[in-house]
Chain A
Amino acid sequence: MFSKKKITLEYTVEKCSKCGMQRKRKFSQGDVLFAECSKCDSCDGMSFIEKVFGETLEQ
């Protein structure tokens, strides 16, 4: 009766292998850990998927 509706937001964290910059974004279908994904924003290194996780919010 008093339980709030819970929603889980899915995130992917990309990490640059060169400068260590981390970027958190929404999970998109097909993301798996350690996959190469994009050029780093701040250097010429490649970023890899470091983590995929969910954060649960109460509404």
Chain B
Amino acid sequence: MSLVNFTSFDFDQLFAMGDDTNPLMMLVWILPIFFFVFYGQRIQLYVTSGEIKKGISKLDGFRNESRDELINYVKNNLKPVDDPVQKIDRFIDYFTIMPVDMDPNGIVDKVRHIVRSREDYTREHVRSISPQMSDIELTKVQTLLEIASSLQMIYKIINHMYLTAKKQNNYPLILPLQMILPFIMEQSEAMKEAIPVFKKGQPVGDGIGPMVVGKMMLKNQKETVAFQTVLVKSEFEGRKLFLLKAEGPGSTVGRPADGLEKIVSENKIDAIIMVDAALKMEGEDSAAVARGFGAAIGGIGTEKFEIEAIATSKNIPIFSIVVKQSVKEAITLMTKEIADKADDVRTQVYEMIQENTTQGQSIAIIGVGNTAGVPQ
């Protein structure tokens, strides 16, 4: 015996579906449909904008935090000549206008010119905050400034998109915002977490390339071959090696393309091997090592362009070894998994040399990435 018989519910009766003669029931069913047809978008707008608002206030927190961290760092560590707050605030708001790309011919040179002059001028302005600052400290402050101004820019753009959508009650406008927000938040959180790492001068995940090549450089004569870029000439099994990396332990990526150009102009190079960090795909293992062809180098693309142009004009093959990692891993303190791969990658570089070149040939090996905490 059972108290409730589960098998014989009358669904028609329960939802009054059979009862289509009752006008009141019809109203109960039809009204919400009209309501959602006319107000559905607006309801969705309210729900979504709540989420976005949370994200924006987080972004606001990040930009303020990064600004304060930068100001505190300058005040506490660098003995500025006068109060640096105003100056720093001005730097954070600096903008960069990319050149016109309607006629793409020569655009790489233009982009490089604009980006480099931005770097050069901010470097000089940062130096003016505290003239006796060491070059390593200078690269640190420059990186912190770069983070603070990126977070500021992100906050402004996202906030602008949100406020515009809200002002115009424009749901379609808020959709792309809702879609990109998770990616933006991931990047911004990573940037925020990168601040203490750069302050302490620790290596980041992106530093794996310089870490591998830097160790190969040890106990050799170093020379500066381009701005913030060092070269070491060494040998391996009858081959000449030209090792290239940004100058550590400052936080810089150097100018590997300029370095390579100098090497190629003075020597006959038979192969280029690049070691870099690469963004992993979702689902891929962190710190997985992969080999391939082509120039492994990130950034805005000017260095990559130049390296490819040099290689093409001299008909030099480019091989690459990359260590996969997430955005966050790339710019925050190097994880154990990535650090543990350094020896393996170095072995693979030597393997690559043996497999792809013969005795008497010359190979340029470039460790690409930020050299914070990674000298040579």
Contact = CB atoms under 8 A, between A and B. Distances in A.
A54 B215 contact: no
B333 A54 contact: yes
Contacts of B333: 8, 10, 52-54
Given A32-B249, A34-B215, A52 B375 contact: no
Contact of B339 (A8, A31, A51): A51
Contacts of A10: 200, 202, 333
B203 A52 contact: yes
26 contacts: A11-B336, A30-B201, A31-B202, A31-B373, A32-B248, A32-B375, A33-B203, A33-B214, A33-B215, A33-B375, A34-B218, A34-B375, A34-B376, A51-B336, A51-B339, A52-B373, A53-B203, A53-B335, A53-B336, A53-B339, A54-B332, A54-B334, A54-B336, A55-B335, A55-B336, A56-B335
A54 B325 CA distance: 14
A42 B215 CA distance: 24
B56 interface: no
Interface residues of B, number: 23
Given A10-B202, A53-B339, A35 B375 contact: yes
A32 to B, nearest CB: 4
B338 interface: yes
Contacts of A31: 202, 373
B338 A33 contact: no
A12 to B, nearest CB: 9
B342 interface: yes
Contacts of B249: 32-33
Q: Which of B218, B334, B342, B373 has its CB near the most chain A CB atoms (within 10 A)?
A: B373
B144 interface: no
A17 B278 CA distance: 30
Contacts of B215: 33-34
B214 A52 contact: no
Interface residues of A, number: 18
A33 B319 CA distance: 26
Interface string B310-325: 0000000000000000
Interface in B294-348: 332-336, 338-340, 342
Nearest to B207: A33
B214 A34 contact: yes
A11 B248 CA distance: 19
Contacts of A53: 203, 333-336, 338-339
Contacts of A35: 375
Nearest to A30: B201
A37 B249 CA distance: 16
B94 to A, nearest CB: 30
Interface string A3-28: 00000101101000000000000010
A29 B202 CA distance: 9
A20 B10 CA distance: 79
A6 to B, nearest CB: 10
B374 interface: yes
B202 A27 contact: yes
Contacts of A52: 202-203, 333-334, 339, 373
Given A31-B373, A33-B373, 8 more contacts: A10-B200, A13-B339, A32-B248, A33-B375, A51-B342, A52-B339, A54-B202, A54-B335
A51 B202 CA distance: 10
